[in-house]
Homo-oligomer: A and B are copies of this chain.
Amino acid sequence: MKNQVQLITYVDRLGGQRDGADLARLKRLVSEPGAPLAGVFGGVHLLPFFHAIDGADAGFDPIDHTQVDPRLGGWADIKSLTEVVDVMADVIVNHMSSESPQFLDYSEKGEASPYAGLFLTLDAVFPQGASERDLLAVYRPRPGLPLTYATLKNGERRILWTTFTAAQIDIAVHHPQGRAYLSGILRTFADNGIRMVRLDAVGYAIKKAGDSCFMMPETFEFIAEFAQEARALGIEVLVEIHSYYQRQIEIAARVDWVYDFALPPLVLHAFNFRTATALKRWVAIRPKNALTVLDTHDGIGIIDIGADASDRAAHPGLVPPQELDELVERIHAASQGQSRKATGAAASNLDLYQVNCTFFDAMGRDETAYLLARAIQFFLPGVPQVYYVGLLAGHNDMDLLGRSQVGRDINRHYYTEDEIARDCERPVVRRLIELIRLRNQHAAFQGEFTLLDSSDAALHLRWSQGGDWAELQVDFAASTHALTYSTPGGQGAFAFS
């Protein structure tokens, strides 16, 4: 993976019109000379662009995972985009849509379908029957049981395994049809120039009676097999897992790439509590094979820096629980209460452990602090990703939230091309793009990283390679900061405001 900043975006929400030309439009936006984002990014993570992008889970429930939604364009447009920028795409490995041809065939033919056995049922997971202990042992990302009572089209009734929603039926990934399905997706991706995949919710892919059905040894085995198959096709694999921080470290040791989901709340914690201790502790131990983020299409992960839910006393988090609670309150306050309306039960939100808010609003629209947060992100080992709303220092979209009643939509604004052009002229966005270019181009970032000693309130990071160097110093208590770097003539400084 190129050591350059990547963009995370929906194809149709960043200047798209859903007219079949959105992929071509996105290519122009990130590559055409004179376009607002030309040459800014080394890679783009395209959020699901499969048929159809507008399912209940915003594309994560495709009907056909190997077909590009025609409203965005076709595979030729994807391939064309890969010529100017590295492209990452999602593989939804855990489940299939209840509208997929495979499930419809099973629903009509039952056991006579070639896909019988592909869809997990209660009996398939618990052949001896499930007790409360069994079902309560299953790690749940959402409230409720992972079970759906379904009447198939052939009249048969089954209890299906559904980790997320009743419209997303979990599949037996080791079933011949499951393997063929996943391999087919990888091959289609490889054929069309995609060089990175993100395994969505892969932690839930393997089920085992009596166990948590989440990130078990068998799950790691599955990820390793899948990654091997991907690598043989020239594809790198990113694993998406929200988890206790120690566990994240263990997971990172066993896979190609992970997200650093602890970073966004730790950065907010540092600014809000005027201390760098928790952040620095994490910097010292965090995995280096990480994609760093401050924002994604999901909310700000709280669980990632909290205690281990299975034993809070024995396994405390990176931040004490009372500070974690207060941090959530501070985000709500910084966003004028908007994030509260999009989070938890208030928005019937299913992601109980995430706060939904744009990162810029979570920082109270403080432009200097926001740019400092990005600088910290860019200075940590790994490959930085910037979410399209964060790139444009976007505000919470309360209209979209109100219309959809989906909490995460607060941070999923649909930008017109005019809005993008206008936002790119805002000083905060111009400075951010400069910062991205510095991160991409300065030779120091290809060298050695050092976490330098500093007071509890301060963070001091350095990169160096030969005579090239770059340093970031932030004192959260004194509110002082400096980003300096070597230049051919001597040294330069980045102005945050």
Contacts and interface: CB of A to CB of B under 8 A. Distances in A.
Contacts of A144: 148-149
B158 A149 contact: no
Given A121-B132, A132-B121, A132-B123, A149 B159 contact: no
Contacts of A127: 131
Contact of A131 (B122, B135, B145): B122
Contacts of A145: 145, 147, 149, 159
A128 interface: yes
A121 B130 CA distance: 13
Nearest to A134: B129
Interface in A137-174: 140, 143-145, 147-149, 157-159
A135 B149 CA distance: 9
Total copies of the chain: 2
A136 interface: yes
A126 interface: yes
B131 A123 contact: yes
A361 B494 CA distance: 75
Contact of A128 (B129, B147, B158): B129
Given A149-B143, A159-B145, A131 B136 contact: no
Interface residues of A, number: 24
Contact of A157 (B123, B131, B136, B159): B136
Contacts of A128: 129, 131
Contacts of A135: 122, 149, 159
Nearest to A121: B132
Contacts of A121: 132
Contacts of A159: 132, 135-136, 145
Contacts of A149: 135, 140, 143-145
Contact of A158 (B129, B132, B140): B132
A303 to B, nearest CB: 16
B132 A122 contact: yes
Interface string A228-271: 00000000000000000000000000000000000000000000
Given A122-B132, A129-B131, A144-B148, 14 more contacts: A122-B131, A123-B133, A126-B129, A128-B129, A128-B131, A129-B129, A129-B130, A129-B134, A130-B130, A130-B131, A135-B159, A143-B149, A145-B145, A147-B147
